[in-house]
Amino acid sequence: MISETILVTGACGQLGTEIVTELRKRYGSSSVIATDVVRPTHQGLLDGPFELLDITNQAQLVALLSKYRVTQLYHLAAILSAKGEQDPKLAWHVNFTGYIAVLDAAVAYGKIAKLYFPSSIAVFGNDTPKQNTPQQTVTDANTVYGISKFAGERFSAYYYKHHGLDIRSLRYPGIISHSTMPGGGTTDYAVHIYHEAVLKGRYTSFLSADTYLPMMYMPDALKATFALMDAEAIQITERGSYNLGAMSFCPEDVAKAIRVHIPEFEIDYAPDSRQQIADTWPQSIDDSVARADWGWKPDYDLSAMTADMLHHVRERYLVTV
C-alpha cells in the first residue's frame, strides 16, 4: 500500500462519502481524515478518523494538516447551485473565501503533494455553446455557485504557477448515486426520480420534460477523480479544470429508462426556479482534452446506470420485485 495521509473536506456530502470510502480502501482507514461542519452518519465514514472543520477556519485547517502529517488534500466542501441562490453571500463565503483559506493553509503547511478541487458545469452560462461545450470557451456563470467555481479554477491555476501547488480539478456534470442524497443542486432530480420510482411509482420533476443536461454515474465520477489524481504531473496540461463528460439526458429520457424496469412508472412536470439555472448550462460536454491527457473514458450510459440505480435503491428500501 502506498504511504499517503489524505484529508477530505466536505466528507459527509454526496461525493465526499464515496471518495472517503474509496480512499480508505486504497490507503487504509486510518490514513484518510474525513472532515465536515456536520457529524457523519453514513456507515462508510464511521470506520476512520473524523474531525469537525469549517473550511473558512484556516488556522484550524493548518493545525489538522500538521497534526496528521497530511500529504494530499481533497477539498470537496461547497454549497451547491440551487441552495447557493437561497443565500448567495454564504455560498460565496464557503465556496470562494473557503477555497482561498484552503489554498493558503496548504501553502503555509508546505507539505501537500497533491490537492483536488472539483469544479462544475455551472461555470458555463447563457453565451456558452450548449452542445459539445469546448474546454476553452465563454464562462459567463449565472449562479453564485458557478461564479465561485470559476474563480476557484482561476485561483487553482494561479496557486499552481505562483506557489507550485499541484492542484488538479474536474468540471463534474450532475452526479447520480444511491448511497447518499444530493445536497441542493439543479441536477438533483436525476437522483430523486429513482427513489420516488421505487417508493411511489411516480415523480414530479422540477425540470421540464426536455431539459437536457450533462450527467454522470458515481462509479464514473470516482474513476475520473482517481485517474486524474494518479496521473503523472507532466500529463496534466489543464491547470484550471478539465471538462468531463459521460452522458446527456432529459427527465423524459430517465422516465423511459425507468419504465423498462417499472412499466407503470408515471412522471409529471412542475418546473421551479431551478429550471432557469438549468437553461443556462450546457447540454453536452466536449471532454477530448481529458481523454487525450490522462485517458478518460466513461463506463456507464443511461440504461446501464438505471438498471444499477434501481437495483441499489430497491435494496436500500428492501423492495423486492
Question: Contact positions toward ligand AKB, by CB under 6 A?
Answer: 80-81, 120-122, 145, 174, 185-187
SS3 of residue 235 by DSSP:
helix
- Give dist(CA 158, CA 103) in Å, integer: 10
63 touches ligand NAD by CB under 6 A: no
Q: Which residues pair with 174 in a beta bridge?
A: 215
Instruction: Scan residues 165-184 and list those touching ligand NAD (CB under 6 A).
Output: 172, 174-175, 182-184
Does position 45 interact with ligand NAD (CB under 6 A)? The reply is: no
> Interior CA angle at 171 toward 104 and 272, to 5°?
110
The one among 20, 32, 73, 78 contacting ligand NAD by CB under 6 A: 78
What's the length of the chain? 321
Nearer Cβ to ligand AKB, position 44 or 173?
173
Q: Does 309 participate in binding ligand NAD (rule CB under 6 A)?
A: no
- Interface region with ligand NAD, contact rule CB under 6 A, candidates 31-39, 131-139, 257-265, 268-276: 31-39
Residue type present at position 12: C
Q: Is 76 in the site for ligand NAD (CB under 6 A)?
A: yes
Closer residue to ligand AKB, CB minimum distance, 31 or 119: 119
Q: Residues with catalytic annotation?
A: 145
Among 64, 73, 77, 147, binds ligand NAD (CB under 6 A): 77
258 binds, among ligand NAD, ligand AKB, none (CB under 5 to 8 A by kind): none
* Distance (Å) of CA 57 to CA 60, 120, 140, 243: 6, 24, 30, 30
Residue 264 CB, nearest approach to ligand AKB (Å):
29
Cell 490507503, residue located: 27
Report whether 178 contacts 300 (CB < 8 A).
no
Q: Which is nearer to ligand NAD, 44 or 174 (CB)?
A: 174
Asked if residue 142 lies in contact with residue 125, where contact means CB atoms within 8 angstroms, the answer is yes
Residue 136, class by beta-carbon neighbours within 10 Å (0-12 exposed, 13-18 middle, 19+ buried)? exposed
Q: How many other C-beta atoms can be found within 10 angstroms of the C-beta atom of residue 38? A: 10
Q: Which residues in the 91-120 window bind ligand NAD by CB under 6 A? A: 94, 98, 118, 120
- Could you say whether residue 219 binds ligand NAD (CB under 6 A)? no
Report whether 204 contacts 245 (CB < 8 A): no
Residues in contact with ligand NAD by the rule CB under 6 A: 9-10, 12-16, 36-38, 53-56, 76-78, 80, 94, 98, 118, 120, 172, 174-175, 182-185, 187
